[in-house]
Amino acid sequence: MNKPQLFLLHFAGGNSYSFGLLTSVLKEFQTFSPELPGRGKRFHEDLLHDFDLAAADIYKQIAPQISSDRFIIYGHSMGAYLALRVTNMLEKTGRRPAYLIVSGNAGPAVSNRKSVHTLAEKEFIHELESLGGMPVELKENRELYELFEPILRADFEVVEKRKMEHEPPVNVPLYAIMGSQEEDADKIACWGKFTRSDFNYEILEGDHFFIHKHPQRMADIIRECYRKTAFIPNK
């Protein structure tokens, strides 16, 4: 029997290896981790700075891999926005996922307050530290920081310049998760505006990268959502 498919969309600065902790406890799933250009296996490709282009890039990677109507799309932070857009794109072709799972932000309806990608270096680093996404190795290794800074700035630009004010809701059940220390965690229910199907949410202890502290709970959420798809009629 084929394993259910799980597509994992990375956060700003992430790549195809960003969900290693999660995939290690989800062996029953066939996982796919597409990555944007300019990092990981696509390091020598030009970075993208436009949300629509980023979504189209991810869509082109996912669409040919779909082999079942029981697949799940999950995205964290930037990946959550991309997951919503890609789900809408897939719906137009009649291949909507059985479940959409998002984490690390309160949804497209919550407005941006900052322009992180244009900050001076000191302020940019401070912002990364406040999110919990500044590893010690990156902070202490100048050469490594200079390698990752353009990737991070490009991804923040993708997020901050997105135009999703009129993003239509999907006909897919949606589950949202945020960290208790995240800004706007109290607005997580706003994700409910973006689905015409079932909606649930959960707050886990931690900062923006709470997913690394709770791989088992995140895996359980994905399993629970997949089990629910057995009661969703074939499309």
User: Count of domains in the chain?
Assistant: 1
Local structure of residue 105 (DSSP, 8 states) = S
CATH number of the domain that residue 224 is part of? 3.40.50.1820
Residue 44's SS3 state is: coil
pTM strictly above 0.85 = yes
Closest CA to 62 of 44, 37, 94, 87: 87
User: Which structural domain range is residue 26 located in?
Assistant: 5-231
Closest CA to 62 of 39, 40, 85: 85
Question: Given this model, what pLDDT does residue 133 score?
Answer: 66
Closest CA to 142 of 121, 127, 169, 115: 121
Residue 152's SS3 state is: helix
Residue 155's SS3 state is: helix
- For 55-83, write each residue's pLDDT tens digit: 999 999 999 999 987 899 999 999 999 99
Local structure of residue 184 (DSSP, 8 states) = T
Question: Given this model, what pLDDT does residue 197 score?
Answer: 96
- Ranges of the chain whose pLDDT falls below 70: 1, 111-113, 133, 136, 230-235
Question: Given this model, what pLDDT does residue 113 score?
Answer: 66
d(CA 119, CA 155): 14
How many other CB atoms sit within 10 Å of the CB of residue 230? 8
d(CA 227, CA 84): 21
Please report the DSSP string for 118-145 in residue order. Answer: GS-HHHHHHHHHHHT---HHHHH-HHHH
Question: Given this model, what pLDDT does residue 235 score?
Answer: 42
Cβ–Cβ < 8 Å for 56, 65: no
Question: Given this model, what pLDDT does residue 69 score?
Answer: 77
The tokens describing 190, both together, are 């706003």
The tokens describing 69, both together, are 């109507």
Cβ–Cβ < 8 Å for 75, 211: no
Question: Given this model, what pLDDT does residue 130 score?
Answer: 78
Local structure of residue 218 (DSSP, 8 states) = H
